[in-house]
Structure 1
Amino acid sequence: MNDSAPGPSSGIVDLLGVLAYAELAAFLRLAEDAALLAPTLNDRAELGDVAAAEYGHFRVLRDRLSGLGVDPEEAMAPFVDSIDAWHAQTRPGDWYEALVKAYVGVGIAGDFYREAARHADPSIRSLVDEVLADESRSEFVVERVRAALEADPRLSGRLALWARRMVGEALSQGQRLAAVRPELAALLVATDNADGADGTGAIGAADGGIGDLAEVGRLFARLTEEHGRRMVALGLTPGS
């Protein structure tokens, strides 16, 4: 990197770092779920393909961090404990819980990163959109879960409750990260200027508090809307 060129902001480093570790952790957990919980070899292969895609995304993010002159391990390190704790708290008990986690749980976590990227420069937004693309995961999981619910409608209540638990854990994790990483939180609640340029953000770095409560409310409304969309796609009732 040219020494005269400005480096990335700490908020952008945090965004790429947390997303890189999230993708690496997702790869490891999905691979484990495929090996231990998949009922057939075809299912194992399908979920393995999803895991491999997550690892590919991790490599893209790792290479971008390196290209920006940032040590990827240092960028990821602040988020290891939090993401590992989320996975430990949401360890699936069976194949269907693993599928719902792969779609709903990982999905809402990705929504946080998309929200932060909305206020980054276009190259970062494009990168985040690329690594969070979930078409293959969506098609695979939706097909399997819908077939299971058709065969046994009694699964609906249990899986809906499981999805709600994961979302609650993900939202709590996001709040904790916002408290300890104010530069990342500033991206989440930044406000846009009238001309569409990036705003300055609404985080008080001194106290880590969120200053624009209205924008926080809009953020959580968008996250809730996306969660509801995924639940409907699976054939589950969002509020059940």
Structure 2
Amino acid sequence: MTAVPNAFDDPAYRQGVIDLLGLLAYGEISACERLAEDAKLAPELATKVEVAAMATAEFHHFEQLRDRLVELQVDPFEAMRPFVSTFERFHRQTQPSTFLEGVVKAYVGDGLAADFYREIAAFLDADTRELVLSTLSGTGHSEFVVDVIRQAIADDPKVGGRLALWARRLMGEALSHAQAVVAERDALTAVLVGSVDRPGSGMDLAMIGRMLTRLTEAHTARMEKLGLAA
């Protein structure tokens, strides 16, 4: 990775990127932890391996983000600390009660993360953008969930309705928590919408609204792929 770019001469931008990397890093390690628990509930060895592969991919993403924070001479664990309570609250409020709910949660999270990374990458400096896109390239490990859920619905059609409600709840909670995080972190907001010193460097409020619409539409498409009414 190349030297820290000139964008980091702006203290607000630097802090915003640190917040963003801390947010993403804790999200990855948190997902890894939850998936490791889900793997224990897998009904078959093949499925257990697939879930474990997802957990491994999340950990590798975390390592990339952690290493970038170290490059920036930032303690990665301090950078993650402000986001711990938000993620833990989200997981408490979306605790799956079955293996199927667990893998739907993983599928929703994996897809939402990929969509979000893709949206924000354009507004970042070259090195951070490269890292975010590299992390994005490692998503998609949850595709096996499609077959698992479609088979479960074929075996018991009632499962579909319950999981569709669960998926809607997950998406609502995820967007709500994400908006709360951005609202609480001024530097992170500055990266997304552009700071006073860097006009036009980010998204305006209308663009953010359109981004949220696109995230929701992509979620709906994924739920249709699963065979669920979103």
TM-score, normalization by structure 1: 0.83
Q: Using a 3 Å threshold, how does the CA distance of structure 1 residues 157 and 189 change in structure 2: closer, same or farther? A: farther
Q: Which runs of 5+ in 1 are unaligned?
A: 192-196, 203-211
Q: Using a 3 Å threshold, how does the CA distance of structure 1 residues 129 and 198 change in structure 2: closer, same or farther? A: farther
Q: Using a 3 Å threshold, how does the CA distance of structure 1 residues 114 and 77 change in structure 2: closer, same or farther? A: farther
Q: Which residue of 1 aligns with 2:42?
A: 38
Match of residue 233, structure 1, among 187, 201, 225: 225
Q: Using a 3 Å threshold, how does the CA distance of structure 1 residues 233 and 186 change in structure 2: closer, same or farther? A: farther
**Deviations along 1:25-80, whole A, 9 cap, x unmatched?**
00000001111x21122221210111011111111110111012111011111101
Instruction: State how 1:191-206 maps to structure 2 within 5 Å.
Output: 199-201=200-202
Match of residue 90, structure 1, among 94, 110, 132: 94
Deviates more, 1:110-119 or 1:46-55: 110-119
Give the superposition deviation at 1:107.
Answer: 2.6
Cα distance in 2, alignment partners of residues 198 and 231 from structure 1? 37
Instruction: Write the letter of the residue equivalent to 2:37.
Output: E
Q: Using a 3 Å threshold, how does the CA distance of structure 1 residues 168 and 224 change in structure 2: closer, same or farther? A: same
Higher helix fraction (1 or 2) = 2
Cα distance in 2, alignment partners of residues 50 and 23 from structure 1? 11
Cα RMSD of the aligned pairs, angstroms, is 2.6
**Deviations along 1:141-173, whole A, 9 cap, x unmatched?**
112111212222211111010000011111110
Instruction: State how 1:169-184 maps to structure 2 within 5 Å.
Output: 169-184=173-188
TM-score, normalization by structure 2: 0.87
Q: Answer whether contact 2:115 2:215 (CA < 8 A) is retained.
A: yes
Q: Using a 3 Å threshold, how does the CA distance of structure 1 residues 188 and 231 change in structure 2: closer, same or farther? A: farther
Q: Answer whether contact 1:112 1:188 (CA < 8 A) is retained.
A: no
- After superposing on structure 2, the runs of 4+ consecutive aligned residues of structure 1 that deviate more than 6 Å are 1-5
Matched, 1:124 2:128: yes
Give the superposition deviation at 1:115.
Answer: 2.8
Higher relative contact order (CA 8 A, sep 6+): 2
Matched, 1:224 2:216: yes
Instruction: Write the letter of the residue equivalent to 1:87.
Output: H
Cα distance in 1, alignment partners of residues 45 and 189 from structure 2? 42
Matched, 1:16 2:21: yes
Q: Using a 3 Å threshold, how does the CA distance of structure 1 residues 175 and 39 change in structure 2: closer, same or farther? A: same
Give the superposition deviation at 1:215.
Answer: 2.2
Matched, 1:103 2:68: no
Cα distance in 2, alignment partners of residues 149 and 83 from structure 1? 30
Give the superposition deviation at 1:109.
Answer: 4.3
Cα distance in 2, alignment partners of residues 123 and 93 from structure 1? 40
Q: Answer whether contact 1:149 1:155 (CA < 8 A) is retained.
A: yes
Q: Which residue of 1 aligns with 2:116?
A: 112
Q: How many residues align?
A: 222
Matched, 1:165 2:157: no
Q: Answer whether contact 1:179 1:185 (CA < 8 A) is retained.
A: yes
Q: Which residue of 2 aligns with 1:56?
A: 60
